[in-house]
Amino acid sequence: MFNTRVKVKDLLATSPEGQDVIVMGWVRTFRNNQFVALNDGSTNNNLQVVMELGAYDDAFLKRITTGASLKVKGKLVASLGKGQAVEVKAESVEILGDCNPEKYPLQLKNRPSLEYLREIAHLRFRTNTFGAVFRVRHMLAFAIHKFFHEKGFLYLHTPIVTASDAEGAGEMFRVTTLPFDNPPRKEDGNIDFREDFFGRATNLTVSGQLEGELGAMAFSEVYTFGPTFRAENSNTARHLAEFWMIEPEMAFYDLEDNMNLAEEFIRTIIRFAMDHSREDLDFLAQRLVEEEKQRPQAERSEMGLIEKLEFVVNNRFERISYTEAIEILLHSPAYKKKKFQYDVSWGIDMQSEHERYLVEKHFKRPVIVTGYPKHIKAFYMRQNEDGKTVAAMDILAPGIGEIVGGSQREERLDKLEARMKEMHIPTEEMWWYLDTRRFGTVPHAGFGLGFERMVQFVTGMTNIRDVIAFPRAPKSAEF
């Protein structure tokens, strides 16, 4: 019977009365042939197991190495040593799995770098940093479902395989069962997707939004939370080829309602993580301090991680229009001193350097930018009266840049169709989407939050590959 074990986290919070316990985990350290620091992933704190001196032979003791797995039966007692309140006085120790110290890559002596740990992603969960990151990630995921559930949103599962090229971005992974070497061809030489599994060209979804809109047109408030895929060849610290996105979609919402929801949402889930993952966040805050010591002064953050999160939870986000954002950039010292790599003028798609200037240097807080030029945004965004801009909103976060992209959707059939034609999006193929505008259309809005960017923000991890279990990025999908 294995399930009689008690987790380390729970044991550490139990008052010791000499009770019998069973604990299992992996050895972090073993010293003086007596003291085992045992960890089972429930917390970064280890449980001290004290083995009786002389009760075990040498050959057995040699097998208790970092990484080996143990089953320990013993009594939970108050600890005499410093650093822990309780310990387990072992009565029996069983080795479940040996771990060859010559080969095990996670020896504590040589602190492995984050980059190296990415190469052994199957083992990095066992480090303190990734232990903390993935427990915080879990807590945020839970908080997200809780937030929407309590607001009466319906969790809609949108498809992973889709036929729509909705974003029109052309950054999709194709899904096919056709042979690569000799695919069936039409008379004009193009591949004949009628012979493919689905009878048409299909791809992995880049967003669940369009399907989400269909849900909102019946359930009024829905959200998706699932994987999305983008074959963009951008090797940045903020882009993955496979990432998780949260996309709420709400009927009877305008842009302002949408912003209010996004702000409340972000604050609430951060607050939840701070209330329920404080130990891990404190650890990550300390890790960040250490990491930043390696960086030049100018690149260090002004606030510590906890301070930053408190600030976001307690302060309103700045709200400005795209036009105001461009004005700020044009009048900035950075622009005047030609510090930006990319030029600034009304109509540009702001680059990360511009977004980060706004949030990190100018406002020093998250910023919601609204009213983007229509030519840099997707077809479904609601057109403003000025004929130039759309009811879009992006939320920009310090250290990350864009964390949320959203908009009020174009609910007027004629305007939507006209815009699709302008952008060469085939309206016939999108009949199922346009039907919502034909049959009881309503004002509605929604947004997409990149889950990993949120986890980055909360954990302070610099590279997005370090907040997802098995990162998929250009030329990297080993595990």
CB of 262 to ligand ATP, least distance (A): 11
By beta-carbon proximity to ligand ATP, the closer residue of 240 and 458 is 240
CB of 471 to ligand ATP, least distance (A): 10
Q: Between 252 and 271, how does the x/- string for binding to ligand ATP read (CB under 6 A)?
A: --------------------
By beta-carbon proximity to ligand ATP, the closer residue of 38 and 350 is 350
Rule CB under 6 A: is residue 249 a binding residue for ligand ATP? no
By beta-carbon proximity to ligand ATP, the closer residue of 192 and 402 is 402
CB of 425 to ligand ATP, least distance (A): 16
**Buried (b) or exposed (e) across 21-37, using 16+ Cβ within 10 A?**
bbbbbbbbebeeebebb
By beta-carbon proximity to ligand ATP, the closer residue of 402 and 435 is 402
Rule CB under 6 A: is residue 11 a binding residue for ligand ATP? no
By beta-carbon proximity to ligand ATP, the closer residue of 288 and 473 is 473
Rule CB under 6 A: is residue 317 a binding residue for ligand ATP? no
CB of 225 to ligand ATP, least distance (A): 12
Residue from 131, 248, 366, 450 binding ligand ATP (CB under 6 A): 450
Rule CB under 6 A: is residue 452 a binding residue for ligand ATP? yes
Burial of 59 (0-12, 13-18, 19+ CB in 10 A): exposed
By beta-carbon proximity to ligand ATP, the closer residue of 72 and 266 is 266
Q: Which residue in this structure is represented by tokens 């930043």?
A: 292
Residue from 403, 425, 430, 458 binding ligand ATP (CB under 6 A): 403
CB of 80 to ligand ATP, least distance (A): 49
By beta-carbon proximity to ligand ATP, the closer residue of 26 and 451 is 451
By beta-carbon proximity to ligand ATP, the closer residue of 240 and 251 is 240
By beta-carbon proximity to ligand ATP, the closer residue of 325 and 403 is 403
Q: Between 220 and 239, how does the x/- string for binding to ligand ATP read (CB under 6 A)?
A: ----------x-x------x
% helix / strand / coil in the chain, to the nearest 5? 35, 25, 40
Rule CB under 6 A: is residue 165 a binding residue for ligand ATP? no
- Binding piece for ligand ATP, criterion CB under 6 A, among 148-156, 193-201, 306-314, 443-451: 443-451
Residue from 371, 398, 405, 443 binding ligand ATP (CB under 6 A): 405
CB of 391 to ligand ATP, least distance (A): 14
CB of 29 to ligand ATP, least distance (A): 36
Rule CB under 6 A: is residue 377 a binding residue for ligand ATP? no
Rule CB under 6 A: is residue 353 a binding residue for ligand ATP? no
Residues that bind ligand ATP (CB under 6 A): 230, 232, 239-240, 243, 245, 402-405, 448-450, 452-453
